[in-house]
Structure 1
Amino acid sequence: MKIKHIILTTTTIGFIGMGTLSCTSKFDDYNTNQNATTKVTPAMLTTRIILNIMELGRAKNFVYDNMLNKQIAWAEGGSESDQYNKLGRVGYDAYTNLTNCQKMLLEAESASEEMQNSYKGLAKFIKAYQLFYLSMRVGDIPYSESNGAETGNIKPVYDTQKEVMKQILDDLEEAQAFFSTGSTFEGDPVLNGDPKKWLKVAVAFEMKVLMNLSKKTGDTELRVKERFAQLANGSNLMNSNNDNLQLVYSNTSGQLYPLYQNDHMQYLMISSTIIDPLKRFNDYRLFYYAAPADYALNNGISASEWDAYLGIDPSALQSDNNVLHGEGKDCGPNERYLQPEGEPLIRIGYMEQNFILAEAALRGWIDSGKASEYYKKGIRASMEFIADATPDKEDFHHGHPITNDYIDKYLNQENIQLNGNFNHDLEMVLLQKYLGSYLQHPDNDCFFDNRRTGYPVLPLNPESNLNTDPNKFPVRWMYPQSELDYNKENVQAAIDRQYKGNDEFNQIMWLLLD
């Protein structure tokens, strides 16, 4: 990781911490005059650290995860790698943010003990969050030596994925302990430095990590089921969408929704994997997600009719989809996504927490009788979030507003009920989680759910699949070239240990082995 390690000075950290403050309503609160002082405060670093995990960039950068998750297709130019399953190599940018966390803790040493506890909790959470997703992509990674550059270690050893996951769980529990004894801290543009809300976020995220270890419930060191039950039965669960870890946009320069005024959005085509089940369930979220197809409107079908919405097979050949797009036989994003405020971007949320609890109940980790209750809470949370984030305008819901009465009716309809069959119920839970995550919850969580369980069912076409094995989805990314160049001994040892020396897309990491 030599190219990612930075010699830290006050000036350097000031640049890292301040140079890209953009998508936050708190910008003015945390911006400073660099000509007046070179003193870096923990608040300045905290802002950048949090935004580092919240922001996605604009236009296509905002929707690449949706391509891999098969929620959208793309009609511009040649085949998109993510849409057609060509994964490539990861980057190690996360480690830079961890270095900033260390500097934040150093600068916070003069704060009260309670505030220091909150900063310590945040540092533990950020490390667990970012390295979890890195490990989910490649397998073994540096964890125990992840901050070694501070002491001159630029060639960290790689921990096994099991060791990584165990340390992640331990760090999340330490984060919860710190937040539970912490006070409101400065520099947080998302949750206003509220340690109680961060505690709920850390609990929800630990449950996500544990669910991704569903194949490892027999491991006595990890204690997957025991840890999960303790969290689920505790008092620090998210209670509503108000507890979401989400980035809110506004009609202010530097804080605009990433799809606003972007010409690239003419190429976004909503997938049949989103549109078809929404139609099957008479789900009004369809009218909030999509704009009606031009072909349908030109043939006398109104925007309020279900038949006005046509999904694109994301696994079809690019040339075939481009033809359909040219004929107007596809749906682009709803007009509400093209407004300055768009909708908040959720990283960890109440909706997802409920679907994770529902899956845990199906698996018998917690009271199995509550599976349907959590499942329906997840659906309700998704619909309420959309309704609350959307002005009541015809162009935004096409005559199908989501109301409390509608949600109640939807939750009572026969074809969305769980029926006691594990595979049916698991498919329904993960399908509803998938539908609720449209343009939400980035980091490829839906792809990881499919990799782990086979659900939600995603289309695979050998004729268009760019994976090295056209009959399979890839299951991992490859290690960065920088590691092969500068830390070869350690990364090669990890590749040999896990994949018999073959750093390739179809190799099965420890987490996926039964």
Structure 2
Amino acid sequence: MKVMKNLLKNIFSIGLIASFWACEDLTEVNINPNSPEQVSSNYILTYVLSNTAKTYHNLGYENSKIAGAMQYVQRGTNEGAVVVNYYGWGHESWNSYFDILRNNQVIYENAIEEDNQFFKGIALIMRSFHFGLMSDLYGDIPYSNALQANNDGFFPNYDRQEEVYKGIMIDLKEADALLQNLDPAKDLVNSSSDILYGGDSQKWRKFANALRMRYSMRLISKKSEMTALGIDLVNEFDEAVQFTFTDNADEAKVDFLGTDENNAAPGGPLNSPNPNLLLKPAQTIVDKLIGLNDPRLYRWMMPVQYKWDEEVMVEKDSVVTNILGESYTVRFKPAPEGLDVNTNLYVGLPVGLPIVEAMAFNKGNDEEGYHPERSPYISYLHERYRKNQDEYVSMNLITYSEVKFLMAEAAQMGGFSVSDPEMHYKDGIKASMEKYGILSNPGSFNFDTYYEQASVSFASGDNKEQRIMEQKWLANWQNPQAWFDWRRTGYPVLEAGPVTQFGAAIPVRYMYPSPNLDPNYLVNYEEALSSLENTEYIPAGQSKDHPYAKMWLLQNSGKPW
């Protein structure tokens, strides 16, 4: 948080000035309790949680590579289209993750020194969250010897991915145990500093167990390898499911306050002075929502401004009101004969179109010139994504709906303690809809009617896994978990567009940060690359540090392609 950093600098500066004018020994400044080196863990916690939430949120929205890959959004013109629409992914910095981890390490060390088990549990959870996420993105990462710069550890080795996952499973289990046995007299966290759970230790415990469930399922295709490392994934899941999220109020999420650029949503005017209209809803998800008669469509997208219509003979403006009570003025225009146009009220941009085609998409016989990002024939993302704050836009680290879909998947798979996959599947859909205020304010929407559709009902689906993962993909709207699930299962079935950088496939990993040329670094970097598997989408002669190389997690799985 910029405000916190500036305040710390000011505190430090004041300490230096005071010591100068008082002619004191500078060693007294070095042990000044007001100096940044000795700042309270409560203060650091706010920084760790707020920056974790923003960094993670941006993976799925503002930094929309993953949102583009999962066909939630597309870029309307050439600005960023190569990256989002055509998968021209480059090297990705991990500085933000390590910056958060360094601060989190201070919390961990303070917790040991002060014997505060609550803070220790939180630090273990946040360490697991970030190291797990980094390994999900890159593969092998600096882990066991990371965060050791104070001990001259400047070039940590990259641990094998399976060792990283082993470590986070151990840490999460320890966190769960710590949070079960706190001493209320000393294991305290300031409720105002804990912007995630307000100092509620039991909700932190549920968060730890939700993450244990996430990683138990993420690793399930590597069950035998993890067992050999001493991690029983089925037992981990079965333990965690006993004390985890039970409703949306348990979710690990941070809301945008919208009072300044540090706590406002990325698409709002405080961070985007010009309305962010570059991102368009992708045709894939728009058509899926239309086909399911899914009311989440109305929370996430807006209708076109100009609608082609086969029933009207002359242009006319009409007010349309969706089932949630939101009204818009739309111009209805006679559909041009002999031209292929989309006559839906909601129109997404097809995936991976060439730039010229994307700019002209769905214009029919309209020869009017429009701003390249403001075609009235393509839907925009809902206006809530251009606000500083909105009740339906939050930074979600893990949701109740994800937990329910994990339970549905485990029950369908068999061998776990959970049963009745349909109940958990149905609860997952309900949790997602309620998150967007649909069930509590349904208008004319009837959930039972929605669920009984052949395209939704669990009983009518031939491929149960596919049905679960498709609904989970919808529930994970603009959340990077959708990409991790797709890599693991191949669902939903997504096809690359006509223009791609490396062939008709969607990327499966982030490239490491641009290599440091120091020989000490390169040794570790090259060793990490040796763990990656070449695929047909990597051009001959190119490095395996590539978005289409398969990390250990995906090797020998046949997924996602």
For the aligned pair, the TM-score class normalised by the smaller chain equals: 0.7 to 0.9
**Closer, same or farther in 2 for the Cα pair 1:410/1:165, shift >3 Å?**
same
Q: Which amino acid aligns with 1:256?
A: A
Q: Distance in 2 between matches of 1:345 and 1:16?
A: 19
Q: 1:73 to 1:132 in 2, by over 3 A?
A: same
Equivalent residue letter for 1:323? A
- Cα distance in 2 for residues equivalent to 1:154 and 1:160: 19
**Which of these residues, 475, 496, 506, is aligned with residue 460 of structure 1?**
496
For 1:304, the aligned partner's letter is: T
**2:288 maps to which residue?**
277
Judged with a 3 Å threshold, the aligned counterparts in structure 2 of structure 1 residues 276 and 504 are, in CA distance, closer, same or farther, namely: same
SS at match of 1:46: helix
Larger RCO, structure (CA 8 Å, separation 6 or more): 1
SS of the residue 2:159 aligns to: coil
Work out whether 1:406 is the aligned partner of 2:423. Answer: no
1:157-180 superposed Cα distances (whole Å, 9 cap, x missing partner): 222111111111111111212222
Q: Distance in 1 between matches of 2:512 and 2:468?
A: 32
How far apart, CA to CA, are the structure 2 residues paired with 1:323 and 1:379?
A: 36
Question: Which residue, 211, 216, 221 being the options, matches 2:222?
Answer: 216
User: What residue number does 1:72 align with?
Assistant: 73
Change (3 A) 1:416 1:100: same
Counterpart for residue 403 of structure 2? 353
Counterparts of 1:367 and 1:296, CA distance in 2: 51
Q: Which amino acid aligns with 1:465?
A: T
SS in 1 for 2:446: helix
Which runs of 5 or more structure 2 residues have no equivalent in the other structure?
A: 16-33, 309-314, 323-342, 362-372, 535-542
Would you tell me which structure has more helix in proportion to its own residues?
1
Query: Does the alignment pair 1:247 with 2:254?
Result: yes
Which residues of 2 match residues 244-323 of structure 1 at below 5 A? 244-254=251-261, 255-261=263-269, 262=272, 263-296=274-307, 302-304=319-321, 307-323=344-360
Q: What is the identity, as a one-letter code, of the residue corresponding to 1:508?
A: K
Q: Which deviates further from its counterpart, 501-510 or 134-143?
A: 501-510
Provide the rounded CA distance (Å) in 2 between the counterparts of 1:170 and 1:404.
48
Task: Between 258-267 and 297-306, report the one with greater CA deviation.
Answer: 297-306
Contact kept? 2:280, 2:381, Cα under 8 Å = yes
Are positions 1:362 and 2:412 aligned together?
Answer: yes
Q: Which amino acid aligns with 1:158?
A: Y
Aligned with 1:505 (options 544, 547, 561): 547
Cα RMSD (Å) of the superposition?
3.0
* In structure 2, distance between residues paired with 1:460 and 1:299: 37
Aligned residue type for 1:99? R
Corresponding residue for residue 43 of structure 1 = 42
Query: 1: CA distance between counterparts of 2:157 and 2:405?
Result: 36
Question: 2:27 — aligned with what?
Answer: none
Equivalent residue in structure 2 for 1:102, among 89, 92, 105: 105
The partner residue of 1:474 within 490, 507, 520 is 507
Unaligned runs of 5+ in 1: 1-14, 22-29, 393-400
- The alpha-carbon distance between structure 1 residues 374 and 299, as it changes in their structure 2 partners (threshold 3 A), is farther
Higher normalized strand content (fraction of residues): 2
- 1:212–1:452 contact (8 Å) kept in structure 2: yes
Paired residue secondary structure (1:435): helix
* Percentage of matched positions with identical amino acids: 25
Judged with a 3 Å threshold, the aligned counterparts in structure 2 of structure 1 residues 471 and 303 are, in CA distance, closer, same or farther, namely: same
**1:156 and 2:156 correspond:** yes
1:449 aligns with one of 485, 509, 527: 485
Q: TM-score, normalised by structure 2?
A: 0.76
Residues 1:508 and 1:106: Cα distance change in structure 2 (over 3 Å): closer
Map of 1:204 onto structure 2: 210
Partner AA of 1:44 in structure 2: Y
Q: Does 1:419 align with 2:426?
A: no
| Shift in Å, 1:408 | 3.6
SS at match of 1:207: helix
Residue in structure 1 matched with residue 311 of structure 2 by the alignment: none
Deviation at 1:119, TM superposition (A): 1.2
| Mean CA deviation greater in 351-360 or 48-57 | 48-57
Query: Is the contact made by 1:285 and 1:383 (CA closer than 8 Å) also made in structure 2?
Result: yes
The one-letter code sitting in structure 1 at the alignment partner of 2:48 is: I
**Larger Rg computed on CA atoms:** 2
Distance 2:318 2:507 in 1: 40
2:39 is matched by which residue type in structure 1?
V
> Tell me, what secondary structure is at the counterpart of 1:191?
coil
C-alpha displacement of 1:127: 1.5
- SS at 2:477 equivalent: coil
Name the count of aligned residue pairs.
470
Aligned-pair distance for 1:147? 2.5
8 Å CA contact retained: 1:89, 1:481: yes
Aligned amino acid, residue 243 of structure 1: D
TM superposition shift of 1:419 = 3.1
Deviation at residue 449 of structure 1 after TM alignment: 1.7
Select between 52-61 and 212-221 the one with higher mean Cα deviation.
52-61
1:462-491 Cα shifts (integer Å, max 9, x gaps):
x41123xx1222222222224454511122
C-alpha contact (below 8 Å) 2:87/2:501 kept by paired residues: yes
Q: Alpha-carbon deviation of 1:296?
A: 1.5
- Shift in alpha-carbon separation, 1:266–1:494, aligned structure 2, 3 A: closer
Amino acid at match of 1:511: L
- Aligned pairs for 1:422-433 (under 5 A) are 424-433=463-472
SS at 1:269 equivalent: strand
Give the 3-state SS of the residue equivalent to 1:489 in structure 2.
helix
> 428-437 or 477-486: which moved more?
477-486
Give the drift of 1:302. 4.8
CA distance in 2, matches of 1:258, 1:85: 22
State the AA in 1 paired with 2:353. Answer: A
Q: Indicate the larger mover: 216-225 or 190-199.
A: 216-225
CA contact (8 A) 1:229 1:365 kept: no
User: Could you tell me the TM-score, scaled by structure 1's length?
Assistant: 0.83
Residues 272-324 of structure 1: CA distance to partner in whole angstroms, max 9, x if unpaired?
22111111111111111111111218765653369311122122223222223
SS at match of 2:396: strand
1:259 and 1:369, CA in 2 relative to 1: closer, same or farther beyond 3 A?
Answer: same
Q: Decide whether aligned partners of structure 1 residues 281 and 90 sit closer, same or farther in structure 2, where only a CA change above 3 A counts.
A: same
Question: Structure 1 CA distance, aligned partners of 2:279 and 2:434?
Answer: 25
